[in-house]
């Protein structure tokens, strides 16, 4: 597998709740930010794919919270491709603060084209297919 791609961010005050911890809904935003960063760093242009008429909707999201993040915390998210079959894929996320695992999450997606119909990415963009294979956790 290729080197890990890491996304780093700081918790903003408005992302916390009355208990002073990051509200769970923000993890979905963090995952999206990390996923787009991951794709860009892996050489996959999200904007370029959309310009080609390819979109990547979210099919599902799961998360497990182990240690809460709080205002001002700097955290990192390690992303990897967990599953990929050319049409659907899953991204795994590991959240760390000070090298301590705070949360894990996964999101599943598919590639769709015109009419929001699923497509095989290898046919539309073989380079994107190859990058997903390169960044899979296990081949």
Would you list the domain boundaries of the chain?
5-134
3-state secondary structure of 21: strand
- Residue-level pLDDT at 119: 96
Distance CA 92, CA 138 (A): 12
| Strands, sheet with 88-97, edge to edge from the N-terminal-most edge strand | 5-10, 74-84, 88-97, 100-110, 58-65
Q: Kindly list the averaged pLDDT for each block of 10 residues, start to end, along the chain of length 139.
A: 82 96 97 96 92 95 98 97 96 97 98 95 93 84
- Residue-level pLDDT at 16: 97
- Residue-level pLDDT at 4: 81
- Residue-level pLDDT at 139: 59
- Residue-level pLDDT at 3: 67
- The residues carrying an active-site annotation are 17
- Residue-level pLDDT at 1: 42
How is domain 5-134 classified at the CATH fold level? Thiol Ester Dehydrase; Chain A (3.10.129)
């Amino acid at each position: 597998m290729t080197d890990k791609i890491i996304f780093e961010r700081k918790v903003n005050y408005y992302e916390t709740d009355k208990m002073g911890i990051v509200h769970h809904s923000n993890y979905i935003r963090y995952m999206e930010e990390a996923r787009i960063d991951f794709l860009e760093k892996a050489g996959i242009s999200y904007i370029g794919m959309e310009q080609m008429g390819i979109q990547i909707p979210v099919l599902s999201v799961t998360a497990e919270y182990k240690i809460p993040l709080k205002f001002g915390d700097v955290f990192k998210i390690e992303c990897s491709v967990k599953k990929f079959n050319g049409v659907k894929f899953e991204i795994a996320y590991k959240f760390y603060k000070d090298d301590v695992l705070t949360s894990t999450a996964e999101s599943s997606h598919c590639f769709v084209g015109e009419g929001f119909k699923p497509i095989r990415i290898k046919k539309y963009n073989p380079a994107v297919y190859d990058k997903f294979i390169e960044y899979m956790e296990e081949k």
